[in-house]
Structure formats: structure tokens, C-alpha cells
Chains A and B, each alone.
Chain A
């Protein structure tokens, strides 16, 4: 139950959405872009989110694209995770997406919503960080395409009024060797203790993490250590020294235990991609 009222808007074009946002803001409202909506409804219940106007972007054609265009995989922000899983254009993304929440929830959770959400796991971003994807963002100055590394730093650095339209990934990345492991406290549904996604490009490992810190990340320092010509355990130990801080220490698990789990998870990832 959403304990406040809002108006609902369903623009059919990017331009209309941007216009709406500005108009609503000028009216003194606090508009919010809305895709799957699961997180907005969840957090509203707890008074952790407030909006008085939601702009549903799911009817915007660009947000519903799932296609290969000019050697790039284009995924609309409004595409549900299960749609991506079933089409399976990017097996690593399929795997990562399929571990988010549960399947019924993923019929609603969108790619854009998962990446842009407040709940800090945002696991769907991991494959995109690894594949150097580009993000297409609409704002009052028009539509821009930028590197995900520029825009996603711990979370999506969007300006007020901006929203994610699409994610584009070079086709060459889609079929690279990959590994993905999500480890939970217990059971097979729920937030991660640690999630590790990896791609191997030109013999080099690329690794991205969620659940380790209160934000998902990919770290050059960590990757350098993991790609050294040293025994695997040494590489891992050194990589762990270079993790960003803080290490999460919460109801899912203590920081120390997380590092223990992460160590073995990295071992499994490296082993899986060894020789690929």
C-alpha cells in the first residue's frame, strides 16, 4: 500500500517524458520516473520514498528495445529481467539477472530499475561494467550516450530529470567466456552475501562485485592483482587487500565472513575461467 497519492503519467516518447518531468517540477511536484515499480512501491510502504507524480517509461518504444543494432546489443531500460533471460542475448547477463529476487518478481523488475534503484545490490549492472557497455540517457539537453564507467560510480550518477533509456553492449563481448557466482547467507532466494561476475577478454579476467561493499563495483586494482602471474591463492589474497571499503557487515553476514566467502568464490571463478 502506497501511503500517499500521486498522479500517474504514461508518456509515449522520450521527449514527452522529459517535458513532463520539467512541467511537473515547475508545478512544485516531486516527479519520479517509474519502470517496474517494485522498489518504489516497497520503499513507499516504509516511508522511504516519496513522490507525487510518477512517470511510467514503459510505453516509450526506445525503452522496450531488445535487439542487435549495428553490432551492438541494445536493451531498453523498461525490458523486464525475465524477458532478457528468455531471449538470452548475453548469457552472463542472463545468469546475473536470473539470480535477482525471484522469477515472478523479475517479470516486473526491469533492467533500468535494477540498475538505477536505491537498494544497493544492483546486480544487473555487473555484466555491463565488465562489457564496457554504453548507456543512453535522456535529459533536458537531449539524448546522450556515455560509457557506463562514467555514469555508474557506485550508483547511477543521473542528474534530476534524467533517465536511462537503453544500455548498449558491443556484440564481441556477448560471447566471451564468463562466470557468475552468487552466494547467499542460506537458501536460494534473497540478497547476496557476495555476487561475483567475471568475463575473460584477451586472456585477462574482468571481475565485478555486488554485496561486498554497499555498492557494486569493478576495480582496476583488484583485476590487476587477479591477473598476475602468481599462484592463484596469492593473487586472490592480494586482490582482497585492494577491495574498496567498507566491507559490508550486516544481517546477511559479518565483514570477516564475507571475505572468507569471497575468497573461495574468487577461487571458483578463476578456476572456472582457467584455460578459457
Chain B
């Protein structure tokens, strides 16, 4: 299959199918924001360094500035807009785990995937996952507390 300058791609975002016309060279972040008007994923560096654009592809966190949209055809994309009333969102609010809020969607998507995949995550695993995102406002302790509170609740419910 070859594609030329602009092409049509079928993306599944937050449970909805979208037909998008974009360049094969366009990143997923660009397509989400500029074609689908889903501006929750944030551009912070466009270089894979800050994590503000993190979304989930088939449930796993990915920096959407570093992936071509065309690579996600046939996969399930979840953005912050697709996360409704999740425990991690509630925890971020309760623990004051953000200030300016710009890194928050990326942090939440990563933390959500972490708590879903590793409800027993150790401190090392939490760090390994969350050091992928930069927050410049908080001290990270608030975020740590938010994530741990979700893990603790999952345990209580087991």
C-alpha cells in the first residue's frame, strides 16, 4: 500500500471512528489537535521529551508527537477526552496534583495506564513510568500521592 501527499485514514478515537485526510508525515498529535479538534493532548516539545502529548494506543501510553497518525490505523486510540470519571482524574483533583494543568492530560493518561496495568505497582515501577512526563509546577509529590491513592483504593476493592 502506498500513499501520496494527503491521504484518508480511518482512526478509532475514544470509541468513535473518524475518517481523516492528512499527510502520512503528520504526527498523531497534529491530527488529533488540528483535524479532530481534540486539544486535550498538549504539544510541549514535539520531540518526545516532555510527555504532555501522551495518549493511549491499545491501552498503552505513547507520545503522540513521536508517532505518525497513519501508524495508528486499526488501533484503538484513547485521549484525555475519552477518559470519563476515572479514579485517577478524581485523585488528581483531590490531591492538588496540578497547577497550570498543561502537563496534566499527559500525566493522567500515563498514570491511568499504569494503575490499570499494575494495580500492585511498586515505587520503582511508579517512578519508571512517571519519569516519562515533566511537570514544572508541582513538586511531583502531589502526583505521587494521587497515583498511590488510586492504587490503594484498587487494593481495598479487591
Contacts A7-B3, A8-B3, A37-B71 hold; do A105 and B66 have CB atoms under 8 A apart?
yes
Are the C-beta atoms of A41 and B27 separated by less than 8 Å?
A: yes
Q: How many residues of A contact B (CB 8 A)?
A: 28
CB-nearest residue of chain B relative to A189?
A: B131
Contacts A37-B68, A104-B63 hold; do A1 and B46 have CB atoms under 8 A apart?
yes
A38 vs B26: C-alpha distance when bound (angstroms): 13
Are the C-beta atoms of A2 and B27 separated by less than 8 Å?
A: yes
Q: Which residue of A8, A56, A104 contacts B62 across the interface (Cβ within 8 Å)?
A: A104
B4 near A: Cβ within 8 Å? yes
Q: Using Cβ atoms and an 8 Å threshold, which residues of chain A touch B129? A: 103-104
A272 near B: Cβ within 8 Å? no
A189 vs B3: C-alpha distance when bound (angstroms): 37
Are the C-beta atoms of B25 and A6 separated by less than 8 Å?
A: yes
Within 8 A of B (CB), among A30-61: 37-38, 41-42, 44-45, 54, 56, 58
A45 vs B27: C-alpha distance when bound (angstroms): 11
Are the C-beta atoms of A103 and B132 separated by less than 8 Å?
A: yes
Within 8 A of A (CB), among B126-156: 127-129, 131-133
Q: Using Cβ atoms and an 8 Å threshold, which residues of chain A touch B26? A: 2
Instruction: Give, as a whole number of angstroms, the nearest-CB distance from A118 to chain B.
Output: 15
Q: Using Cβ atoms and an 8 Å threshold, which residues of chain B touch A221? A: none
Q: How many residues of B contact A (CB 8 A)?
A: 34
Q: Which residue of B30, B48, B127 contacts A105 across the interface (Cβ within 8 Å)?
A: B48
A10 near B: Cβ within 8 Å? yes
Are the C-beta atoms of B46 and A45 separated by less than 8 Å?
A: yes
Instruction: Give, as a whole number of angstroms, the nearest-CB distance from A32 to chain B.
Output: 12
B110 near A: Cβ within 8 Å? yes
A108 vs B48: C-alpha distance when bound (angstroms): 10
Instruction: Give, as a whole number of angstroms, the nearest-CB distance from B134 to chain A.
Output: 9
Q: Which residue of B7, B70, B132 contacts A102 across the interface (Cβ within 8 Å)?
A: B132
A184 near B: Cβ within 8 Å? no
Are the C-beta atoms of B61 and A107 separated by less than 8 Å?
A: yes
Are the C-beta atoms of A5 and B5 separated by less than 8 Å?
A: yes
Are the C-beta atoms of A104 and B5 separated by less than 8 Å?
A: no
Are the C-beta atoms of B27 and A1 separated by less than 8 Å?
A: yes
CB-nearest residue of chain A relative to B127?
A: A188
A4 near B: Cβ within 8 Å? yes
Q: Using Cβ atoms and an 8 Å threshold, which residues of chain A touch B128? A: 98, 103
Q: Using Cβ atoms and an 8 Å threshold, which residues of chain B touch A37? A: 66-68, 71
A232 vs B125: C-alpha distance when bound (angstroms): 35
Q: Which residue of A7, A45, A189 contacts B2 across the interface (Cβ within 8 Å)?
A: A7
A157 vs B129: C-alpha distance when bound (angstroms): 34
CB-nearest residue of chain A relative to B5?
A: A5
Are the C-beta atoms of B54 and A104 separated by less than 8 Å?
A: yes
CB-nearest residue of chain B relative to A104?
A: B132
B100 near A: Cβ within 8 Å? no
What is the 8 Å Cβ interface bit string for chain B, positions 45-62, against chain A (1 contact, 0 not)? 011100100100000111
A41 vs B70: C-alpha distance when bound (angstroms): 14
A8 vs B71: C-alpha distance when bound (angstroms): 9
A9 near B: Cβ within 8 Å? yes
Besides A7-B24, A9-B3, 8 other CB < 8 A contacts?
A: A5-B5, A9-B1, A41-B66, A44-B25, A45-B46, A103-B131, A107-B61, A189-B131
Could you name 7 residue pairs across A and B whose Cβ atoms are closer than 8 Å? Answer: A2-B25, A5-B5, A10-B1, A56-B71, A102-B131, A103-B128, A105-B63
Which residues of A does B touch, CB under 8 Å? 1-2, 4-10, 37-38, 41-42, 44-45, 54, 56, 58, 98, 101-105, 107-108, 188-189
- A-B residue pairs, 7 tightest by C-beta: A8-B24, A104-B132, A102-B132, A2-B25, A38-B66, A104-B61, A8-B70
